[in-house]
Amino acid sequence: MEMQYNNLGKSGLQISRLSLGSWLTFGKQISDDTAEALMTYAYEQGINFFDNAEIYARGKSEEVMGSVLKKKGWSRDSYIVSSKAFFGIGGQLPTQKGLNRKHLVEACEAALQRFQLSYLDLYYCHRPDKQTPIEETVWTMHQLIMQGKILYWGTSEWSAQEIMEAHMFAKQNHLIGPVVEQPEYNMFVRNKVEVEYAQIYKTVGLGTTIWSPLASGILSGKYNEQFPDDTRLGMEGLEWLKERNLTQERISAVLALGNLAKELGLSLPVMSLAWCLKNPNVSTVILGASKLQQLQENMQALEAQQLLTVEVMQRIEDILQNKPEFPAY
């Protein structure tokens, strides 16, 4: 099936419904050759968005991605590339992280050097920063756009209130506000995307580039019986991911979902990705693959959407029992 594209929020930027991320893989879990094979396959399938961040493999992820882009020589107007700033690349000094003007400007310059690019299409504030006024962050992002170093900016894991504060300040001062948010979204983590941001989609507009659509691999079914060695929940330093995701309740739900997927003739990961795509407020689903075969399988999610009828979506709700409720007031 051909790739589908849609606008990123209320911007004019056309983004592919599926995209390729590099967290935990590029420069870390996979070889540079595998990274190249994944990007090449993705690009050939019509994926136009490659997601990255300064903290991913402490800058190495951006270097690997930049090298592939340079080697491939793809036309710069044919793909979208992102970075995110907040965590730094491991430096512990107070000026080496956050959303203050100094770090945002320096992190942008450093990312461009690692990518070997002259501008970023998307630049995210990777987390909210309680130490920096939102006004300073908005001004800085606007200035980076004016300087031609970034084209659009966005947020990641911000609350609806923080996003609206940024918009209000931008509007009052005729500045460019954020167009996109990168939240976690999957069958087990739903509140932000489905409830908290509901009004923002309608008012100022908000694109979403969602991460962890398979709940760190839980929705691949690979953790049901045993614990494979080469997976992200087995990686050192990611114990928090394992504790949060690998609950007995979730594994029971995954088994039931697996049976439903089988009934539809789909694999569980493909059904889980198609479920995310069914949400009209999801601009793109970021795929994280460590093997080409995984990425090839994940691409089937586009076509699988049509099998997720109203009835099937209800059956999924009956298994999950976690539909977020809107506040009563």
Looking at residue 142, its amino acid is H
Q: Is 41 a catalytic residue?
A: no
User: Distance (Å, rounded) from C-alpha 108 to C-alpha 121?
Assistant: 12
Determine which one of 5, 41, 43, 56 is catalytic.
56
Alpha helices in the chain (DSSP H): 32-44, 60-72, 101-115, 134-146, 160-172, 191, 198-202, 239-245, 248-264, 268-277, 292-298, 301-304, 310-320
**Three-class secondary structure assignment of 17-70:** CEEEECCCHHHHHCCHHHHHHHHHHHHHCCCCEEECCCCHHHHHHHHHHHHHHH
User: Distance (Å, rounded) from C-alpha 251 to C-alpha 262?
Assistant: 16
User: Distance (Å, rounded) from C-alpha 25 to C-alpha 20?
Assistant: 11
Catalytic residues: 56
